[in-house]
Structure 1
Amino acid sequence: MSFGIFNIPVPTNEPVKEYRPGSSEREDLKRALQDFRGVETDIPMYIGGQEVRTERKLRVSPPHDHQHTLGYFYEGEAEHVKQAIDAALQAKQSWAKLSWESRAGIFLKAADLIAGPYRARINAATMLGQSKNAYQAEIDSACELIDFLRFNVYFADEIYRQQPNASPGVWNRQEYRPLEGFVFALTPFNFTAIAGNLPTSAAMMGNTVVWKPAYTQILSAKVIMEVLQEAGLPDGVINLIYVDGPVAGEVIFNHPDFAGIHFTGSTAVFQKIWATIGNNIHKYKSYPRIVGETGGKDFVLVHESANVDEVATGLVRGAFEFQGQKCSAASRAYIPATLWPQIEVKMKEFIGELKIGGTEDFSNFINAVIDERAFKKITAYIDEAKQNNEVEIVAGGNYDGTKGYFIEPTVLRVSNPTYRTMCEEIFGPVLTVCVYDPTEFEAIIQTVNSTSPYALTGSIFARDRYIIEEVTQKLQNAAGNFYINDKPTGAVVGQQPFGGARASGTNDKAGSALNLYRWVSARTIKETFVSPKHYGYPFLQEE
C-alpha cells in the first residue's frame, strides 16, 4: 500500500444562484418541479444498502397544496430500528479502517454532485416537500449542504493534524478514533442541510449512523441518500429509517452500543432524550455523546441610533423568510418609541408587498407552514392575541388552511413585555414587538436577557459604538450567534459556526471543527525508543 500526507482542497462557500427570469438554473428548477409533480415518488427506507418497504405507506404532500400527492414512504417498526443498528455495527469496522482520504473523497464528491447534477432535484424536493421558495431552498438544500460537506472535510483534516509535542527519546502521537458503537442522527423538517449534515458529520469521522428524519422532510432526505449512494458511500454507513420517534427511541436508547446522538429539534424532546440516556447510562459501553441544537426565541434589540430602513428590512426578512420556521428567526423585537412610528410604517409597506402562495410561483415570498399541526398551533397564538386587550395586531393576523397551510406575516405589538408571544417559541410567521421608552434602555437590556429560557440568536441595531459594545457584553450569554446591524438568521458555514446555549442546546457549533470533535474519541500513543532497564532513579544514590 502506498502512503502520503494529502492536502485537502481549501473550501470556499458555494455561490448562491439567483434564479432570475430567463436564467438556466431557473429553467432547470422548473423542470425538476414538474418532474416531482408528475409522478408519485416511491420512498423506501435504506438499511444496509438495501431498499426496505413495509405494508404501512404514508402519504407525502406539499404543505401549500395538501390535496396533491407527491409520493408515499414506508413507515417502519421496532424491528427495522434493530436492523439499522445491526447494519451500522456490521459496517463499522471496515468503515473505520478506511483511509481518511478515501472517506473524504466520498463527501467531496457528494458536494460536487449537489452543486451540479443534483442541484435542481434537491432544491425542487425541498420546495415541494417543505414549502420553501426557490431562494430559501437554494441557500439551504444546495449551498449550505455543499458547504457542510466541503468544510467538514477540511475541519476533519485539521483535527487529524493536531498532534502532541515530543520529548528526547520519545515520540508522542494522537489518533482520533470513531466512537465505539453507532451514532443516532435525529433531524428536523426545516433545513435539508441540517438533515444532511447531522448524519454525514458523524460518518465523516469514521462512525456509522442510524438516521431518522422528520416525516415532513422525507422527500428531500431521499435525494440526500441518492447523492450519497452515487458518491460511493458503502452500505450500512448511514441507514435511513422512517419510524415513529418513541418506537425508535425505545430500541436505540436501550442498546449497549449506543454511542451518541446528533439532534436538532424541540427543547422538550431533547430534554426527554437526555433524561432517558441518563437513566440508562449503566447500559452503555461508553458515555454517549449528546449533541443537540433545539429551540429559540430570538431577539432584535433596536437602539435610538439605529437606521430605520435597516431595522425594518432586518425584521421582515428575519421574521418571515420561510414563514418564520427557522430556529434563528426574529421572534421578539424591542424598539424605542422614538423610532417605532417610522419602523411601523416601513414594515407595513414591506409586508403589504409580500405575495403569499405556492413555491412553484417564484414571485411568492411567503409560502405555507409545514403541516396542519403547526398551522393550528400558530393560529391559536394569533386568535388569542386578537382577544387580548394588551395586544395590538399591527399587520397580518389572517390565515387560510383550505388549499395550503397559509398564514399571513403577522406583527403583534404588546404592552406587556412578558406576554406569552414574547416568551414562547412559536415557530411561525409571528413577530411580537415591545415598544420601550428610550430612557429605559438599560432596563430593556435586562428584559431581553431574562424573558426567554433560550439563547440561540439575537441582534442589536445601533450606530452608537459604545451602545454596541455594551449590549454585546451584557447579552453575552443570551445568544450563541449574535449579530450587529443584521437580522439574526442566515449563518454561513465556515463564517458563523451555529449553535446556542441555555435551553437552545449544547452549543457544539455546526459548521466548525468544534462539532466534529464530538464524534471522535482520542487515543494518545507514547513510544519510547530506548527503554530503561532498571527501576532506580538518580535521587536514590547515597552521598
Structure 2
Amino acid sequence: MSKAISQVPMAVNEPVRSYAPGSAEVKSLLATYKAMWKEKAEIPMIINGKEVQSSEKVRLVSPQDHQHDFGFYYKGTMQDVDSAINTALEAKENWNNLGWEQRAAIFLKAADLLAGPYRDRLNAATMIGQSKNVHQAEIDSACEFIDFLRFNVEFMTEMYSEQPVSDEGIWNRTEYRPLEGFCFAVTPFNFTAIAGNLPTCMAMMGNVVVWKPSDKQILAAKVIMDILTEAGLPAGVINMIFTDGKETAEKVMAHPDFAGLHFTGSTSVFQGMWKMIGNNIHKFKTYPRIVGETGGKDFVVVHSSANVDAVATGLVRGAFEYQGQKCSAASRAYVPKSLWPKVKETMEAQLKTVKMGSPEDPSNFINAVISQGSFDKCKGYIERAEKSADSSVIMGGKCDDSRGWFVEPTVILTTNPNYESLCEEIFGPILTVYVYEDEKWSETLKLVDQTSPYSLTGAVFAQDRYAIAEAYKALENASGNFYINDKPTGAVVGQQPFGGARASGTNDKAGSKMNLMRWVSVRSIKETFVSPKDYKYPYLG
C-alpha cells in the first residue's frame, strides 16, 4: 500500500487527428484497415483472463459489405454467465485491496497504449465492424475513450479527496468503497468509447464487472480487452461474454450479489431490466445501482434571427454524421417560415457534395447503417413518408442493400406536428422538418417540449438573445445536453458531461465525477481522540 498522497497526471482532452488526404496518419490507418479486413478474426469470450470458446460460431459481417465476413465469435451459454459471475466475485477481494494508485496506473497505461500503438487498430476495428468513417472513428474509439480513461482517473482522485470537516477532538473521514457484489455492463454498437467506458469506470472504482458488448461491436470489443490485458488489468476484474441478452439479464439480475447495472441501449430494454430488478429486489444483498442512457428524439429549434448557414450546417452534421446512429443525433427540426427557403437551399447544396460508401475511402461522409433490420426500418419510414398526405421526402430517400446497408441522408418535410417520423426514434440518417409561422415561436417551443417522451439533446439557433433565453427556460426539461448555435452532438468528456432524463435515461452524466459517484458506497468514519468517561451531560448538573 502506498505511503504517499499521490497526484495523478493532469487530464487533457486527446487531440483529434485530421487524417488529411495523403498524410502519414491516414496512410497508416488505411493500411491497418486493409490488413484487418483480410483477417479472419476468431473472437473468444474472456473469462478470468482466459479465452473461452464454445461450440457455436457466429459469422461477423461488415455493414458496408454484408457479403464479406471478417471472422466469427464464439457465442456463450448460461454456464458462461455463471462462470463470469463467479470469477468476478473470486477476483473481488484482491482487486478491492489493491491501492487506488495501482488501479489508476492500469487505466492510465491503457490510455497511452490506445493513444499510441493501438490507435490504428481500434479505429480500424470500429470502421470495419460499425461502419464509421475515419473522422467518426477517431473522435469516438480513439479520442473519447482515451478521455474517459484519463479524466475518470482525475475524477476518482478528486472524489477521494473530498472529505468532511472535523470538530475539536474529532477526526471525520469519508471512505469511498466499491459496491458490495458484482456489476453488469451492457454496451451498444454505436460508440466504441461507450463500450470501453461502461465497464472500465466501474472497475476503476474497485468493482468487478461482467461485460456484455453488442454483437455488432465485437471486433472493437476484442481490441479493448487486448488493450486492458496489456495494461495489466488482473484476470477476472472485467469478464467479456457473448450471450443471449434476455437470458443473461434474467440470470444476472436474479443473483443475490448483483450490485449495479451500467447500460446504454434502447429504452424498452432498459425498462425491462429495471422491472426485472424490481421483481427481484428481495433477493439482493444490497439495493443495486441502476444507471442507463437509452435514446432520444433530439431537436433543433430555429428562431427567425438565426444565421442560415449555421443552421444548415448544424442540421447536416447533426443529423447525418455516422448515419444518424447517435442517440444525440438531430432527428427533428423546427424552422420558421421566413428562413426555411434559404435553409432548404443551403442544405440541398451541401448534401449534393456528400459522398456515401465504404469507410475505406476517407472522402465518404456517409457510410452504411449497422444492419439489415436498421436498413429496413429506415426504408419503411421513407416509403411511408412518400405515400403520406401530410409529408414528403424532399432530399435523399434512396436505399440500396445490394452490397452494404446504405441509406441516403434523407429529409422529410411534414405539415403535421405529430407525424410519426417527427415523434418516433428512428436511429438512422433521417431528419424530419416542421415549418412554423414566425409569430408562433413561443407556441413552437411548447410543441418541442411536449412532442417526444425523450430528453437527451437539443439545440437552439438564434442571434436574438431574448429568444435564446426564452428557449433556454422553456426547454429546460426537454434535454440533458443543450446546445446554443451548435449541432446537438459531439459532447466532449470533461467539457459537456453527457446524459438525459425522461425516457432518455437516469442522467448520470458520463464524462464527469457524477457518474463515478454511482459506483461507490460511501462510509462515514468518526474517530474521537479522548472519549467521554461519564454519561452525564452538563445540563444534568
- Normalised by the size of structure 2, how large is the TM-score? 0.99
Aligned match of 1:344: 344
- How is 1:98-497 mapped onto 2 (pairs within 5 angstroms)? 98-497=98-497
| Cα distance change on mapping 1:326 and 1:57 into 2, 3 Å | same
Question: Is residue 88–residue 236 contact of structure 1 (8 Å, CA) maintained in 2?
Answer: yes
Q: Distance in 2 between matches of 1:38 and 1:304?
A: 52
Question: Is residue 411–residue 430 contact of structure 2 (8 Å, CA) maintained in 1?
Answer: yes
The 3-state SS of whatever aligns with 2:521 is strand
The answer for unaligned runs of 5 or more in structure 2 is none
Q: Distance in 1 between matches of 2:532 and 2:182?
A: 41
Question: Is residue 323–residue 367 contact of structure 1 (8 Å, CA) maintained in 2?
Answer: yes
Equivalent AA in structure 2 for residue 274 of structure 1: W
Q: Distance in 2 between matches of 1:92 and 1:479?
A: 37
Question: Is residue 88–residue 237 contact of structure 2 (8 Å, CA) maintained in 1?
Answer: yes
Q: Deviations over 1:475-528 (max 9, x none)?
A: 000000000000000000010000000000000000000000000000111111
Moved more, 131-140 or 381-390: 381-390
Q: Deviations over 1:97-139 (max 9, x none)?
A: 1001000000000000000000000000000000000000000
Aligned match of 2:95: 95
1:347 Cα deviation from its structure 2 partner = 0.5
| Cα distance change on mapping 1:2 and 1:254 into 2, 3 Å | closer
1:392 Cα deviation from its structure 2 partner = 1.5
Equivalent AA in structure 1 for residue 224 of structure 2: I
Question: Is residue 305–residue 464 contact of structure 2 (8 Å, CA) maintained in 1?
Answer: yes
Aligned match of 1:77: 77
Q: Deviations over 1:259-313 (max 9, x none)?
A: 0000000000001111110010000000000000001000000000000000000
Aligned match of 1:513: 513
Q: Distance in 2 between matches of 1:464 and 1:539?
A: 65
Question: Is residue 250–residue 276 contact of structure 2 (8 Å, CA) maintained in 1?
Answer: no
Q: Distance in 2 between matches of 1:23 and 1:115?
A: 18
Q: Distance in 2 between matches of 1:298 and 1:403?
A: 30
Q: Distance in 2 between matches of 1:34 and 1:478?
A: 43
Question: Is residue 182–residue 259 contact of structure 1 (8 Å, CA) maintained in 2?
Answer: yes
Question: Is residue 456–residue 478 contact of structure 1 (8 Å, CA) maintained in 2?
Answer: yes
The answer for unaligned runs of 5 or more in structure 1 is none
Q: Distance in 1 between matches of 2:294 and 2:390?
A: 29
Question: Is residue 456–residue 480 contact of structure 1 (8 Å, CA) maintained in 2?
Answer: yes
Q: Distance in 2 between matches of 1:290 and 1:264?
A: 11
Moved more, 317-326 or 13-22: 13-22
1:386 Cα deviation from its structure 2 partner = 0.9
Aligned match of 1:540: 540
Equivalent AA in structure 2 for residue 40 of structure 1: K
Q: Distance in 2 between matches of 1:473 and 1:145?
A: 33
Equivalent AA in structure 1 for residue 424 of structure 2: E
1:156 Cα deviation from its structure 2 partner = 0.4
Equivalent AA in structure 1 for residue 140 of structure 2: D
1:2 Cα deviation from its structure 2 partner = 4.9
Q: Distance in 1 between matches of 2:396 and 2:412?
A: 9
Q: Distance in 1 between matches of 2:33 and 2:258?
A: 39
Q: Distance in 2 between matches of 1:96 and 1:378?
A: 46
Q: Distance in 2 between matches of 1:439 and 1:531?
A: 72
Question: Is residue 2–residue 99 contact of structure 2 (8 Å, CA) maintained in 1?
Answer: no
1:22 Cα deviation from its structure 2 partner = 2.2
| Cα distance change on mapping 1:525 and 1:409 into 2, 3 Å | same
Q: Distance in 2 between matches of 1:162 and 1:207?
A: 20
Q: Distance in 2 between matches of 1:139 and 1:450?
A: 32
Q: Distance in 2 between matches of 1:91 and 1:350?
A: 54
Matched, 1:7 2:10: no
Q: Distance in 1 between matches of 2:101 and 2:146?
A: 18
Q: Which runs of 4+ in 1 moved over 3 A?
A: none
The 3-state SS of whatever aligns with 1:314 is helix
Moved more, 199-208 or 33-42: 33-42
1:8 Cα deviation from its structure 2 partner = 1.1
Equivalent AA in structure 2 for residue 257 of structure 1: D
The 3-state SS of whatever aligns with 2:365 is coil
Task: Report the RMSD for the aligned CA atoms in angstroms.
Answer: 0.6
Moved more, 528-537 or 512-521: 528-537
Q: Distance in 2 between matches of 1:377 and 1:280?
A: 34
Q: Distance in 2 between matches of 1:270 and 1:69?
A: 31
Q: Distance in 2 between matches of 1:365 and 1:219?
A: 22
| Cα distance change on mapping 1:348 and 1:16 into 2, 3 Å | same
- How is 1:7-26 mapped onto 2 (pairs within 5 angstroms)? 7-26=7-26
Question: Is residue 77–residue 247 contact of structure 1 (8 Å, CA) maintained in 2?
Answer: no
The 3-state SS of whatever aligns with 1:211 is strand
The 3-state SS of whatever aligns with 1:171 is strand
Moved more, 320-329 or 241-250: 241-250
Question: Is residue 299–residue 459 contact of structure 1 (8 Å, CA) maintained in 2?
Answer: yes
The 3-state SS of whatever aligns with 1:69 is strand
The 3-state SS of whatever aligns with 1:66 is strand
Q: Distance in 2 between matches of 1:136 and 1:416?
A: 33
Q: Distance in 2 between matches of 1:427 and 1:273?
A: 21
Equivalent AA in structure 2 for residue 103 of structure 1: R
1:61 Cα deviation from its structure 2 partner = 1.2
Identity %: 62
Aligned match of 2:58: 58
| Cα distance change on mapping 1:374 and 1:217 into 2, 3 Å | same
Moved more, 143-152 or 35-44: 35-44
Q: Distance in 1 between matches of 2:471 and 2:2?
A: 56
Corresponding residue pairs, total: 541
Aligned match of 2:525: 525
